[in-house]
Structure 1
Amino acid sequence: MLERKLLKDRAQVTFVLPADSPPGPVSVVGDFNDWQPGTHILERRGDGMRAVSVALPEGSVHSFRYLAAGDYWFDEEHADAHDGTNSRLQT
């Protein structure tokens, strides 16, 4: 799930997943972090979900995927679009 909040000149996008699915650590990996695993690791929050927020330029389009333990890559089903390989979001 994606949560969005507009800031002054940026959009804050929060990537949200259930606490236990998939098990183990998960990071969001995309063009906004040079596809570097472990840069944006989802952390447990008070509502029992895992999340990480990233500030992105307003009006931009980004590709991303999730990376879980065991080299398990997966997409965000609620993304704005999919390009065949990646999830896409527009801020």
Structure 2
Amino acid sequence: MSIKKQFLKSKPECKVTFKFEKSEDLSPEKVQVIGDFNNWDVNAEPMKPLKTGGFTQTINLSSGDKVQFRYLVNNSLWINDQEADEFINNGVDSIEQNCVLHL
């Protein structure tokens, strides 16, 4: 997994590209980036599949914000991105955490 941030000079926005890579133990058919920016909507637009078997999606987010997110794989498995800027308790239970991006 990877996260690329590109701050725009023309607007107070950051273009964030999320990449979810296929692994030996996980070959997803559908991956979504779910977070504050889409109101944690599990019906959000899925990431685009890549020829490598991974997925990608680019989202413009407001600069200066902190946003929480997670990946939802095959409508059932929540996964964090280890390249996030920070991790915080998601309030559901004491173990689960959300990824945080500092924009």
Q: TM-score, normalised by structure 1?
A: 0.87
**Offset, 1:40:** 3.6
What letter corresponds to residue 65 of structure 1 in structure 2?
R
Match of 2:14 in 1: 11
Match of 2:43 in 1: 38
Structure 2 counterpart SS, 1:41: coil
Question: Matched residues in 1 for 2:85 and 2:56: separation?
Answer: 18
Ranges in structure 1 where 5+ consecutive residues have no aligned partner:
none
For the aligned residues, what is the CA RMSD?
1.7
Question: Matched residues in 1 for 2:40 and 2:59: separation?
Answer: 14
Percent identical across equivalent pairs? 26
Q: TM-score, normalised by structure 2?
A: 0.77
How many aligned residue pairs are there? 90
Instruction: Classify 1:22/1:65 alpha carbon distance in 2 versus 1 (closer, same or farther; 3 Å).
Output: farther
**2:99 corresponds to 1:87:** yes
Question: Matched residues in 2 for 1:22 and 1:87: separation?
Answer: 22
On the 8 A contact 1:33/1:39 being kept in 2, the answer is: yes
What letter corresponds to residue 2 of structure 1 in structure 2?
I
1:62 to 58, 67, 71: 67
**Offset, 1:25:** 0.1
Structure 2 counterpart SS, 1:79: coil
